[in-house]
Amino acid sequence: MKKHLTKIALLSLGFATLISCKQVTEEKATKTNSQQKTEEKMEQKSVLEIAIRKVKEGQGEAFFAARSAFISKLKAQEGIEKDWEFKSFFTMPEPDNTDVLVGMTRYKSADAMQVVANNLMQSTEAGEFFGTFDMKAFLAVQAADGSDFKLEDYIKGGNVLEVAARTVKEGSESEFDAKRKGIFDLIKEQDGYLFDKEFIDLQTGDKVVLIGWESIDVFQKGAGFLQTQAEMVDFFSILNIKAYQALALSTN
């Protein structure tokens, strides 16, 4: 019964993702030509899937075994451009009590992502893998500026990648750009800073950011300085943080 319920949960997640994509398509009919052209241009770009997975207690070995089988099947699908696995070493406000592994997969397009989801969501490999973790966040993003972002152009082994999903508090939307600039101008001045990039989650419209650092040491030094700055407090005061992890490329 438990295994059956796990598969139902997996199917529900898959259907929810597909339904959200379908709703985006249907909503186009009510939008202006300018809005439609902008969204169509984004849809033609690659999509980066970010799956933040918290390993269930006592499921560590099963997680890695099931992940290996699932990723092998995933990489065999058409429309996959690149896949990465990261391990989280820091989150906030409370630490994780089991390992958090983050998968990032780049698809050729939103359509390709939907086809792959259709192919995989009822597979044995997916069912067994999803039974070993709890999903902290599932994002499907494209660059907010419309560019076709390639993560491999920015990071390599030994680097650190921060990922954060957030929304702006109601009534504070007009303040976002200025307050973001205030803190990110400071971030860019820190030793070891590599890049930052804003994205939009295609499912929810949430704002997602990736920030790259040369190493864990420079990340920790930069974070220690930045968290004491008024610009950081000011920026966070207008945000709802839905997910945050600091990551290093996984060797497992």
pLDDT digits (tens, 9 = 90+) for 103-142: 999 999 999 999 999 999 899 999 999 999 999 999 999 9
pTM: 0.84
My answer on whether 36 and 138 are in the same domain is yes
My answer on whether 100 and 212 are in the same domain is no
Give me the pLDDT at residue 189, please: 98
Question: Among residues 143, 175, 208, which one ends one of the domains?
Answer: 143
* AA letter at 85: E
Question: Among residues 122, 143, 164, which one ends one of the domains?
Answer: 143
1-30 pLDDT, tens digit each:
433 333 333 433 443 444 344 444 444 445
Give me the pLDDT at residue 38, please: 47
My answer on whether 15 and 133 are in the same domain is yes
Give me the pLDDT at residue 33, please: 58
CATH number of residue 36's parent domain: 3.30.70.100
Average pLDDT of the chain?
88
My answer on whether 191 and 169 are in the same domain is yes
My answer on whether 48 and 26 are in the same domain is yes
Range of the domain at 19: 2-143
Question: Among residues 82, 109, 143, which one ends one of the domains?
Answer: 143
Give me the pLDDT at residue 28, please: 42
80-106 pLDDT, tens digit each:
999 999 999 999 989 999 999 999 999
My answer on whether 65 and 127 are in the same domain is yes
My answer on whether 23 and 137 are in the same domain is yes
My answer on whether 70 and 43 are in the same domain is yes
Q: How far apart are CA 184 and CA 176, in angstroms?
A: 12
My answer on whether 135 and 166 are in the same domain is no
18-75 pLDDT, tens digit each:
434 444 444 444 555 545 554 555 557 999 999 999 999 999 999 999 999 999 999 9
My answer on whether 159 and 57 are in the same domain is no
Give me the pLDDT at residue 120, please: 95
What are the DSSP calls for the chain, one per residue? -HHHHHHHHHHHHHHHHHHHHHHHHHHGGGS-HHHHHHHHHHHTS-EEEEEEEEEPTT-HHHHHHHHHHHHHHHHTSTTEEEEEEEEEEE-SSS--SS-EEEEEEEES-HHHHHHHHHHHTTSHHHHHHHTTEEEEEEEEEEETTS----GGGT--TT-EEEEEEEEEPTT-GGGHHHHHHHHHHHHHTSTTEEEEEEEEETTT--EEEEEEES-HHHHHHHHHHHTTSHHHHHHHTTEEEEEEEEEEE---
Q: How confident is the model at residue 221 (pLDDT cuts 50, 70, 90)?
A: very high
My answer on whether 175 and 236 are in the same domain is yes
Closest CA to 240 of 167, 176, 171, 177: 167
Q: Work out how many domains the chain is built from and give that number.
A: 2
My answer on whether 60 and 159 are in the same domain is no
